[in-house]
């Protein structure tokens, strides 16, 4: 078999990796923007304003591309991810939860999410959990704890705040796992737009607060809210859906451990918050864990002969071999 037979799969894998890279960079930037917008907007108002801006941008793109409505089979996953991930997660953690606990505690608790995601994907999607993935997530989680401890200082952590962060981790994990089946039927843009719309509709009870806060908020806070809607929501969630359709949910979840390291660097560059030594070490550990989780075992020599000595089955022409994590990766 020639190398060109594998080029479509490799091209798809590289595009998926580039897409998830865009997502994690933009999501890391969201934590910086929330510092400004969150000072002027209440949690529910900020979530609604962000989702409305995202829905508007995604809706325009959907009209330009003329993609229309997704198939009926995609709707259960769209509605579930819209309510759980786009609405509940945004309000519970990114806005409300961070007001109840210090940033370090929030970071430690919410990083349970990728672990929950892997367990849910294994249970309900039948995804395999390779040893490298498990080891990488364990390393990254240890790094996230180090980052959290270094940021906590003399911070506070109310019972309500801890519960909210746990809810955020659970809704994030469940939302991603429920979104995965929807992407088998609808395009990434369709799934993201309608999930964002569902999230905005779920947050409509906060419309009064949004109008009131917007009338008093400084322009910088409102611009940051719009930024959150256009980039970390509309663009990042679309590139995430694109990548999720082409790889496993558990591997995608492990990749999000890059976010704590990026938040540290962005806060240093943009907010002039000089990180402690433990913070930098924790961020480096997070990155190392992601590298381990996304690595693949070296190919065995022997011309396609398995360790048992039995020749590997020959794939049909044009078929894509399954990924090492047990998921069938989509190829364009």
The predicted-structure confidence for 9-42, as pLDDT tens digits, reads as follows: 788 878 988 999 999 999 888 877 887 788 899 9
169 within 8 A of 113, measured Cβ to Cβ: yes
pTM: predicted TM-score of the whole model, two decimal places: 0.79
Question: What is the distance between the alpha carbons of residues 91 and 174, in angstroms, rounded to a whole number?
Answer: 16
Partner residues linked to 101 by β-bridges: 157
117 within 8 A of 168, measured Cβ to Cβ: no
Question: What is the distance between the alpha carbons of residues 246 and 171, in angstroms, rounded to a whole number?
Answer: 22
H-type helices in 71-228, by residue range?
A: 75-81, 98-100, 103-110, 113-124, 131-152, 159-182, 188-202, 207-216, 219-228
What DSSP assignment string belongs to 235-298?
A: IHHHHHHHHHTTS-HHHHHHHTTHHHHHHHHHHHHHS--PPPHHHHHHHHHHHHHHHHHH--PP
What integer pLDDT is reported at residue 194 of this predicted model? Answer: 98
The predicted-structure confidence for 168-184, as pLDDT tens digits, reads as follows: 889 999 999 999 999 99
Question: What is the distance between the alpha carbons of residues 27 and 135, in angstroms, rounded to a whole number?
Answer: 24
DSSP assigned state of 303: S
Q: Residue 298 above 70 pLDDT?
A: no
Radius of gyration of the chain (CA): 20
Cβ count within 10 A of residue 312: 12
Q: Residue 283 above 90 pLDDT?
A: no
Label residue 205 exposed, middle or buried (CB < 10 Å: 0-12, 13-18, 19+): exposed
Contacts of 10 (CB under 8 A, 6+ apart): none
What integer pLDDT is reported at residue 238 of this predicted model? Answer: 96
Q: Which of 279, 223, 250 is nearest to 126 (CA)?
A: 250
Dihedrals phi, psi of 38, to nearest 5 degrees: -70, -20
**Average pLDDT score over residue span 108-131:** 88
Mean pLDDT, all residues of the chain: 81
Question: What is the distance between the alpha carbons of residues 41 and 13, in angstroms, rounded to a whole number?
Answer: 39
Question: What is the distance between the alpha carbons of residues 194 and 116, in angstroms, rounded to a whole number?
Answer: 25
**Helix, coil or strand: residue 305:** strand
Q: Residue 141 above 80 pLDDT?
A: yes
């Amino acid at each position: 078999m020639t190398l060109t037979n594998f080029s479509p799969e490799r091209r798809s894998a590289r595009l998926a990796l580039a897409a998830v890279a865009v997502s994690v960079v933009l999501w890391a930037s969201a934590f910086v923007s929330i510092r400004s917008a969150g000072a002027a907007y209440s949690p529910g108002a900020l979530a609604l304003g962000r989702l409305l801006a995202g829905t508007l941008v995604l809706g325009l793109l959907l009209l330009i591309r003329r993609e229309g409505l997704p198939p009926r089979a995609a709707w259960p996953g769209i509605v579930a991810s819209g309510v759980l991930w786009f609405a509940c997660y945004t309000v519970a953690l990114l806005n409300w939860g961070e007001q109840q606990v210090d940033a370090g505690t929030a970071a430690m608790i919410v990083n349970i999410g990728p672990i929950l995601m892997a367990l849910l994907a294994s249970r309900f999607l039948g995804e395999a959990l390779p040893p490298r993935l498990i080891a990488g997530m364990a390393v990254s989680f240890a790094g996230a704890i180090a980052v959290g401890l270094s940021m906590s200082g003399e911070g506070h952590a109310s019972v309500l705040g801890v519960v909210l962060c746990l809810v955020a981790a659970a809704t994030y994990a469940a939302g991603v796992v429920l979104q995965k089946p929807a992407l088998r039927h609808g395009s990434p843009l369709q799934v993201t737009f309608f999930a964002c719309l569902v999230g905005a509709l779920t947050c409509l009870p906060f419309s009064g607060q949004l109008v009131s806060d917007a009338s008093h908020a400084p322009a910088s806070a409102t611009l940051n809210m719009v930024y959150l809607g256009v980039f970390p929501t509309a663009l990042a969630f679309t590139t995430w859906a694109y990548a999720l359709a082409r790889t496993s949910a558990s591997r995608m979840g492990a990749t999000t451990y890059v976010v704590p390291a990026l938040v540290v660097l962005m806060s240093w560059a943009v907010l002039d918050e000089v990180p402690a030594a433990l913070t930098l070490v924790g961020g480096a550990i997070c990155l190392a864990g992601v590298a381990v989780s996304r690595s693949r075992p070296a190919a065995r020599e022997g011309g396609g002969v398995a360790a048992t000595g039995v020749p590997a089955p020959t794939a049909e022409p044009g078929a894509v071999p399954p990924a090492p994590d047990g998921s069938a990766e989509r190829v364009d």
